[in-house]
Each structure stands twice: as structure tokens, then as C-alpha cells.
Amino acid sequence: MTHPVRVLGLAGSLRQASYNRALLRAAVELAPPEVALSVADIGAIPLYNEDVYEQGFPEPVIALREAIRRAEAVLIVTPEYNYSVPGVLKNAIDWVSRPPEQPFDGKPVAIMGASPGMFGSARAQYHLRQTLVSLNARPMSKPEVMVASAHQKFDAHGKLADETTARFVTAQLEALAAWARRVGDEKNNG
Ligand SMILES: Cc1cc2nc3c(=O)[nH]c(=O)nc-3n(C[C@H](O)[C@H](O)[C@H](O)COP(=O)(O)O)c2cc1C
């Protein structure tokens, strides 16, 4: 039996009652046996400042870079702000992207997101894919998970209460495990 794929989950919202944080919690609960999903918080990452970078990475950035490096794959759960990725998430990605040893390089990544709107963060997800190209990450194309009308899919305690969405989440994590193994094999073979 091969070990479960170590996946690091990041949510791009800081608010307590966030649908995207709730979706990430649901993913932890729904993770199939082939996935070991842990969560990192981006709340302590400061605003990017090149002057600070030149003095060295701040502690929360070091921790996040390390966590991404140790993970075999990353799951990013993004809200949509003005058709794009929220600043807090982009800021965290910008920090970890700075040299040396950019931790997203070659990393398998899955994306999901939730919005009370009709498009379930689709536009933000495609912007995020563009950023992942810059990072030379290996974003998984499908299955996509775009949770529209999120306010109707979580209960008052932030628990996912929609079976169809739950099935999509599990299916994406299963696919991510396979994708991470495939990318890992490519690396090992060549
Ligand atoms: C600045 C801002 C811009 C937003 N723009 C969009 C948008 O373009 N598309 C969308 O579907 N929702 C948009 N929303 C609504 C968010 O999807 C909603 O606030 C959502 O709950 C945020 O995710 P969270 O619940 O994980 O915090 C916006 C919210 C904010 C605060």
C-alpha cells in the first residue's frame, strides 16, 4: 500500500464564517483514504514589501514556504473578489514565490472555491490558474469544484449540507491524489 498523498490546504479568506474556509474544512472531513489533508492559515502573512524581503522572509512566510515544500500537493480554496483572487491570497502567494527555491515549482495543485453568487468563484479560479503558470506549478485541470449559491449549501455552523457538493469535493481529492502521483512519477523518471 502506498502512503496517502500529503496535501496542504489553503483558504483565501480570513473571516470566521467564510464559506471557503468551511469548504476546506469539509474537504478535510471528506478526504478519501489516499489523501492526508492538513490546513495552513495565511492570516499572519504580512503585506508584501520588497524592503522586508531583502532583510529576510518573515516567520509566517518561512512557515508557509516550508509547509508547501513538504506537501506533495496543494489545495487552494479561493473566494472571488471583483472577478479575481482576494488580495490576502494573492499576497501570500506573492510572498512564497520569492527566491530562492520557490516552493510551488512543479507542485501539483487543485483549486476549489465558493461564492454566494452564480459562478462559484469561477473567474477567480481562472485568474489563479494564470498565477500558477507563473509559478511553474502543475494545476490539475479537472474536475473543477465551483460552489455557487454557497449561502444555501452550508448550515448555520459552517458545515457543508449539500450532498452533490460533497461528492464533487471527494471526487476532486481522489483525482488530486492520482494527479500528484502522476506528476511525482514523471519527476522520478526523468
Ligand atoms: C471586495 C469584494 C468583492 C467581491 N466580488 C465578488 C465577485 O466578483 N464575484 C462573486 O461571486 N462574489 C464577490 N464577492 C462576494 C464574495 O463571494 C462573498 O463575500 C464570499 O462570502 C467571500 O468568501 P468567504 O465567504 O470565503 O469569505 C465580493 C466580496 C467582496 C468583499
CATH fold for domain 5-184: Rossmann fold (3.40.50)
Domain ranges of the chain: 5-184
CB contact at 8 A, 39 and 24 = yes
Q: Is the CB of 15 under 6 A from ligand 1?
A: yes
* Burial class of residue 180 in the structure, from the number of CB atoms within 10 Å of its CB (0-12 exposed, 13-18 middle, 19+ buried): buried
Distance of alpha carbon 24 from its chain centroid, rounded? 9
Helix (H) / strand (E) element for 136: namely none
What pLDDT digit, counting tens, does each position of 113-157 carry?
999 999 999 999 999 999 999 999 999 999 999 999 999 999 999
The pLDDT tens digits of the residues spanning 66-89 come to 999 999 999 999 999 999 999 999
**Candidate from 39, 77, 80 with most ligand 1 atoms within 8 A of CB, to mutate:** 80
> Tens digits of per-residue pLDDT, 90-121?
999 999 999 999 999 999 999 999 999 999 99
* Residue 172 near ligand 1, beta carbon < 6 Å: no
Ligand 1 atom closest to residue 15's alpha carbon, by position in its atom list = 27
pLDDT of residue 1: 59
